[in-house]
Structure 1
């Protein structure tokens, strides 16, 4: 075992192309970190939304194997699916998780292996959360509801969390400031006799977009003021259903707000680096900066990050700094987030042979004797939200929206990308000449379609699939927090 610290930092909903535009526009902390590390410009997620993508990132396996997706919303413990925090814990690391995204919590199976797991949406860490009462009740009903529930668990804790969740947490950001404040205190108090594994999910780029004005202004159209941009509808599901029309100008305003969120998060990442330097940990830390998936803002007629496997959702940033990842190198090697677990075990010099046999990812560590991958696979095993959930939210759901009621898989190889739908649909793109995936070549390249379809069929037959299915129980407070994020249940 090495004594290097390892940090996995996920910028939730960070689209590679948009982050690149922010970095081209101004000096960024991320670019400074990349200038001394290795940046992988051809990195892809294994799934287009948070739950399955984080599960793949932390297990080194694809959704079909780890089983966490919209059809079964929990990562179950399994000897067949290794979990990266548990592996570091078993090898003597202090393991700490910080989440700003409700999906990434113990309720959905992500807290295993973490000695400390901190959820920023709670002022006091607790299993009881009354935040939904503050959100869903009004006037005297709010106080009556609080009175009924106040005796559950610790009354003082419950009131503090309810007030914080409704009135205080969102005044500054989506948790990045509080995350860094917690890290500051933790670094100051921790026992540094052993290295640490730290996982952080920063939520800022996620809908709804509410960046500080000073970070948003440089990215807004010249004729759109910040207040006007903030008034543009961010109702993704109404837009997808065609019930909300957004002009090109309004979409550009939303894209400006989104880039403002990325710029603000970059500021907080720079702050995190300074905390590590001040604590004397920076030089002995291997830092991964990535995104779990991207975002559609009018792209392909969609908003948010569901219902497709286009590169707008799969192409993510990936920078690794520290250890053998040095030199300011920019690599176009094809990598996937599933490759991170074996890579980080190599970086920490941890053998974990059983886990390595179970990984579907392959190490891209500079010292690893592995061939670069020749293909990338992604899965979207069930629509989220389901058509039933969407029907409850959107009046008069148009017929074309039901086309999204399907599962999808994609495979990239030799520049071609094939997207297969459970409804029999096929889309083929040649990314070197069509990075925006506008020109479907299915009719022009039937042999390529057949070859790639055979390749993905053989891949599916090469491993045991998860048997998990059905609904997963979640508390009302969790359900409401997810719906606040746009995840209809």
Structure 2
């Protein structure tokens, strides 16, 4: 009997682990994910390989690290010589499908390769992607599941749309052959504007009206570079309002993913269906005077949730090798799933979680020239940040980060104090490990390649703050 599992992989956008219920947040923002964790697994130290959607998604969908696949480092598109995981699953007999709400995960970047069915969801594609019936349902529910009737496209939430399309696709996929279905939700990516009924969820805990909090969230989104350049991006009142809106978006998205999970559990299939939820990266919410996701490889950006049901069923023994608080990366999970799907894993850079544990994680950030900050304030203190390619090697207790500029050893959770002088032996050991990693797994597979974003994609990326 064919025991290969069905796989539903859900990636959320901009969720940091410590703002979730599983991560110990004082607000119960993810009760549905928490319930999944209680019957499945939740990893508290899942470390993303990239700090924004493009490199992180490429890492997930190729099973390789950013400097190796070049995407988000010195290229924008997956090199043709590098197979995608969808191609690997397809070659193993899987039916494959991907629904993406972010232009960075699209045909423009080559991340659609290998998917039998692929749709990128945006204002210009919503009718053919969703169909008239789903679109009509969304419009009828636009005050319950989005910002109401507003022409500001950046304010609209789309998990309702994503869910309705995904449920229909999953019904089609369930059959004799196993399937791999990858879903990229855009929430709670900034601007943090929850659907109307959710905007007041934490409003009684802040010194602002809902309307003021939404205005603060929109202004922080539009003026992000200017605010960071000022050195003081948010007043305490603004930060509390922004956090309330962010947490409300996380909570709304959690409810939607919970409903999707309910549907998956009811699929008409004889196979085990694995259901996995993670995030591509986290978010700076005023931490260290920063907003959004750039400049650093701090845990606020790379420590993301990872919850899964059905994973332990892949083993014949006592379950997966890592404990819930051990370090894991998306590349590990992808290798494990490919192995379980009897697909080719040659060149995949993670470990098999059924039998292995990893000693350290890698996160990377592309070179930056600080131009967008300096044009707002020429005195912006760039020396606080690395300019060249930044690679962070994270152990359970430390992060050793290095670029062409300099190297630092940080004892976590302190993200700013260099302890190299007080712990020189550890600094030397991790420096040697990083040298070896960069020369092997971190070496580029080829030349970086540009993406071909069309006008609709650029409009969507502009709403998200990626392009002007």
Aligned to 2:119: 118
Q: Hey, what's the Cα distance between the residues in 2 that align with 1:328 and 1:180?
A: 30
Alignment of 1:447 onto 2:430: no
Correspondence for 2:331 among 338, 341, 345: 338
C-alpha distance 260-363 of structure 1, shift in aligned 2 (>3 A): same
* Counterpart contact for 1:238–1:244, Cα < 8 Å: no
Per-residue Cα deviation, 1:364-406 (whole angstroms, up to 9, x for no partner): 13xxx33x111111111323xx544556xx5344342475533
Q: Hey, what's the Cα distance between the residues in 2 that align with 1:171 and 1:413?
A: 38
C-alpha distance 216-207 of structure 1, shift in aligned 2 (>3 A): same
Per-residue Cα deviation, 1:285-328 (whole angstroms, up to 9, x for no partner): 11111111110011121100101011111101111211535999
Per-residue Cα deviation, 1:328-359 (whole angstroms, up to 9, x for no partner): 996112111111221112333x152xxx2312
Aligned to 2:379: 398
What SS class does the counterpart of residue 74 from structure 2 fall into?
A: coil
Aligned to 1:179: 162
Alignment of 1:250 onto 2:238: yes
Alignment of 1:421 onto 2:410: no
* Counterpart contact for 2:79–2:446, Cα < 8 Å: no
C-alpha distance 26-106 of structure 1, shift in aligned 2 (>3 A): closer
Q: Hey, what's the Cα distance between the residues in 2 that align with 1:202 and 1:376?
A: 25
What SS class does the counterpart of residue 35 from structure 1 fall into?
A: helix
Q: Hey, what's the Cα distance between the residues in 1 that align with 2:405 and 2:276?
A: 37
Per-residue Cα deviation, 1:406-441 (whole angstroms, up to 9, x for no partner): 3211112352211112222x332222xxx2424331
TM-score, length of structure 1 as denominator length: 0.81
Aligned to 1:377: 362
* Counterpart contact for 1:3–1:194, Cα < 8 Å: no
What SS class does the counterpart of residue 290 from structure 1 fall into?
A: strand
What SS class does the counterpart of residue 200 from structure 2 fall into?
A: helix
Q: Hey, what's the Cα distance between the residues in 1 that align with 2:177 and 2:116?
A: 13
Aligned to 1:480: 459
Alignment of 1:68 onto 2:68: no
What SS class does the counterpart of residue 488 from structure 1 fall into?
A: coil
Q: What's the RMSD between the two structures over aligned residues?
A: 2.8
Farther-moved stretch of structure 1 (468-477 vs 231-240): 468-477
Aligned to 2:42: 39
Q: Hey, what's the Cα distance between the residues in 1 that align with 2:161 and 2:343?
A: 35
Correspondence for 1:229 among 213, 226, 229: 213
| 1:186 Cα deviation after fit | 2.4
C-alpha distance 167-195 of structure 1, shift in aligned 2 (>3 A): farther
TM-score, length of structure 2 as denominator length: 0.84
Q: Hey, what's the Cα distance between the residues in 2 that align with 1:288 and 1:189?
A: 20
C-alpha distance 9-293 of structure 1, shift in aligned 2 (>3 A): same
Correspondence for 1:363 among 345, 348, 352: 352
What SS class does the counterpart of residue 325 from structure 2 fall into?
A: strand
Q: Hey, what's the Cα distance between the residues in 2 that align with 1:406 and 1:214?
A: 44
Unaligned residue ranges in structure 1 (runs of 5+) = 127-164
Q: Hey, what's the Cα distance between the residues in 2 that align with 1:259 and 1:59?
A: 31
Correspondence for 1:319 among 284, 289, 307: 307
C-alpha distance 289-450 of structure 1, shift in aligned 2 (>3 A): same
C-alpha distance 407-341 of structure 1, shift in aligned 2 (>3 A): same
Aligned to 1:199: 182
Unaligned residue ranges in structure 2 (runs of 5+) = 130-148
C-alpha distance 201-281 of structure 1, shift in aligned 2 (>3 A): farther
Q: Hey, what's the Cα distance between the residues in 2 that align with 1:195 and 1:227?
A: 47
* Counterpart contact for 1:37–1:325, Cα < 8 Å: no
C-alpha distance 295-281 of structure 1, shift in aligned 2 (>3 A): farther
Alignment of 1:56 onto 2:45: no
* Counterpart contact for 2:392–2:400, Cα < 8 Å: yes
Residues 214-293 of structure 1 correspond to what in structure 2 (within 5 A)? 214-220=197-203, 221-232=205-216, 233-234=219-220, 235-242=223-230, 245-281=233-269, 284-293=272-281
| 1:447 Cα deviation after fit | 2.6
Per-residue Cα deviation, 1:6-38 (whole angstroms, up to 9, x for no partner): 011101111000123568526721111111111
Per-residue Cα deviation, 1:217-245 (whole angstroms, up to 9, x for no partner): 34343432211111112232122111874
